[in-house]
Amino acid sequence: MTTLPLGETTPFSDSPKEECGLMGVYAPGKDVAQMCLFGLLSLQHRGQEAAGISVSTGKQIDYEKGTGMISNVFANERLSNLKGINALGHTRYSTTGGTSTRNIQPYVIETAHGPLALAHNGNITNADKLRDELLAKGVGLTSFSDSEVLLMMIAGAKGNTWAERIKNTMPKWEGAFSLVFQSRTGLYAVRDPWGFRPLSIGYFPDWGYAVASETCALNTLGCIKIREVLPGEIVVMNYEGVNKAPGMKAKKKTAFCTFEHVYFSRADSEWDGQSINSVRERMGAELAREAPVEADLVIAVPSSAIPAAIGYAKESRIVYSSGLTKNNYVGRTFIQPTDELRQLGIRLKFNALPYNLEGERVILVDDSIVRGNTSKALVKLIRDSGAKEVHVRVSSPPIISPCFMGVDMGTYDELIAHRLEVDEIRQYIGADSLHYITLDGMMKAINSKTTYCNACFTRDYPIDVQAFSSSKFKSQS
């Protein structure tokens, strides 16, 4: 095997940072904490910096939290003391800020109506204003987290039930929020009226319910009758069953996140009622129709680009083969402390297979290019392994704008497609050719009647983000 040489670029900083993963289980009589842990492990790809699980005993909410990968946080039987009727879990990638324990979710507080916990995926774009309003009322806050603001607003809201308090507060929130609230007796799944982030519920074959950011986690737990929480919907899971509570009317023009199809969701999940794997294969096939090239084999940047590469190979009738391997056990936090470790991490992350690449004209399929560092390093790695030509194909359009809805894609200056034209990017990464799928081609592959958010490709944001883009407010969701 040929290993990627040491250098200044680092693949770890060159992909959109996963959002966060939410997991909730309501199953009295079951080991809800362990079930929640299994579900969270299926969502590890959505957040790798910290994790937490809270459990309601019916009288109080107990919790365990920690930094690191989920399996490390909950090692040494750390869940053995968490027994109850429902559980709430969260795995986190912070878009900004640190990973101190106070920022790790679920957030748990005591209120006049009993204990309440929250797990949040998304960004609230008017959080500055909402925070100032809370402070003016004398409400104490411990951080600049928008998630904490949501929790404190619900704690002080009007209403006779938690569902009513959520309903009365939702219209004040702008931006992306998929939420799960936990009370002593139940769970409350909430999704913003734009539908930015995924959230689904499922039923256990015997008795009980679960809610998760992705259907793969619900399938892992053996759930049946899985469905998405609708935009603006509030779903209550308690001893009365699963019931829909009054929420908000869905926006006429929804804003589902396209990047769930492109990159974030696991291939065995469903989003907007469609198989993620199938959509990615269709993206690859459409890319092959838009940007054909004479070559000997198609390879993928592992692992989220594999379905697109397979789709490209099928459509172009060029052999699909393995060209790169990826060490999935090198976590992002492992390589962060020093430059020396980051450089060592490059060699740990990717290896090439010279016996498949030597003397070949190679098509390298990736799902996105953010800063360009990974692409540059991988093209060089493939050339050093003996490839005659390297043609790069990308199954999403050029990313020209940051996301303010809960995805860390970097700033305008960090986005290579914001600064350079496509041929300039080709020269920078050292490819013989470079083509991105068109926006129309990507949406044709998604093939949905739902309206999607493509702001990172178009600068056309579905809500006003001007104030948030210059805000000091930091999302911890």
251 and 279 in a single domain? The answer is no
Residue 374 covered by a domain:
yes
pLDDT tens for the 477 residues of the chain, in order? 433 333 333 334 466 655 699 999 999 999 999 999 999 999 999 988 899 999 999 999 999 999 988 999 998 788 988 999 999 999 987 544 445 677 899 999 999 999 999 999 999 999 999 999 999 999 988 877 899 999 999 999 999 999 999 999 999 999 999 999 999 999 999 999 999 999 999 999 988 999 999 999 999 999 999 999 999 999 999 999 999 999 999 999 999 999 999 999 999 999 999 999 999 999 999 999 999 999 999 999 998 899 999 999 999 999 999 999 988 766 543 334 444 454 455 567 889 999 999 999 999 999 999 988 889 989 999 999 999 999 999 999 999 999 988 887 778 988 999 999 999 999 999 999 999 999 999 999 999 999 999 999 999 999 987 655 555 444 545
Longest Cα pair distance anywhere in the chain, in angstroms?
Answer: 71
Q: How many other C-beta atoms can be found within 10 angstroms of the C-beta atom of residue 265?
A: 26
Q: Of the candidates 353, 409, 421, which has an alpha carbon nearest to the alpha carbon of residue 16?
A: 409
Rounded to whole angstroms, the Cα distance separating 172 from 401 reads: 26
In a domain? residue 472? no
Nearest of 212, 208, 210 to residue 239 by alpha carbon: 208
As given in the structure block, the two tokens for residue 156 are: 């002080």
Whether 36 is catalytic = no
Q: Number of folded domains in the chain?
A: 2
Q: Which of 20, 257, 453, 456 is catalytic?
A: 20
Question: Do 85 and 230 belong to one domain?
Answer: yes
Report d(CA 302, CA 286) in Å as an integer: 20
- Nearest CA-CA partner of 349 in 371, 372, 381, 322: 381
Give SS3 for 225: strand
Is the entire prediction scored with pTM above 0.75? yes
Is residue 417 domain-shared with residue 305, that is, in the same domain? yes
| CA 33 to chain centroid | 22
What is the domain extent for residue 93? 21-255
Tokens describing residue 428: 């920078």
In the numeric block, which tokens belong to residue 427? 């020269």
Cα separations (Å) of 145 from 47, 95, 168, 180, 402?
17, 11, 21, 16, 19
Does one domain contain both 196 and 104?
yes
Q: What is the pLDDT of residues 90-137, one digit of tens each?
A: 998 754 444 567 789 999 999 999 999 999 999 999 999 999 999 999
- Does 262 map to a domain? no
Residue 7 maps to a domain: no
Q: Quick one: tokens of 125? A: 């774009």
> In terms of domains, do 185 and 242 share one?
yes
Say yes or no: 192 and 65 in one domain: yes
Half-sphere exposure of 206 (CA within 13 A, CB side): 6
Token digits of residue 472: 């000091």
Same-domain status, 349 and 432: yes
Report yes or no on 313 lying in a domain.
yes
Contacts of 423 (CB under 8 A, 6+ apart): 434
Decide the pairing of beta strands 256-257 and 209-212. Answer: unpaired
Alpha helices (H) in 226-305, listed in sequence order: 259, 276-290
Output the average pLDDT for the chain: 89
Contacts (Cβ under 8 Å, ≥6 apart) of 229: 178, 189, 190, 191, 199, 200, 201, 211, 235
CA distances (Å), origin 427, targets 140, 297, 424, 434: 53, 22, 5, 9
Both 306 and 404 in one domain: the answer is yes
Phi and psi (nearest 5°) for 147? -65, -40
The pLDDT assigned to 6 comes to 32
pLDDT, position 141: 84
d(CA 226, CA 39): 14
In a domain, 419, yes or no: yes
Residue 243 inside a domain? The answer is yes
C-beta separation of 204 from 27 below 8 A: yes
DSSP state of 250: P
Is 228 in the same domain as 348? no
Is residue 425 in a domain?
A: yes
CATH number of 91's domain: 3.60.20.10
Spatial contact of 384 and 42, defined as CB atoms under 8 Å apart: no
Q: What is the CATH number of the domain that holds 410?
A: 3.40.50.2020
Side-chain half-sphere exposure of 263, counting CA atoms within 13 A: 24
3-class SS of residue 281: helix
Whether residue 300 sits in one domain with residue 230: no
Token couple for 378: 């991988």
pLDDT per residue as tens digits for the range 436-466: 999 999 999 999 999 999 999 999 999 987 6
**Residues 201 and 97 reside in one and the same domain:** yes
Distance of CA 138 to the CA centre of its chain: 34
On whether both 232 and 315 belong to a single domain, the answer is no
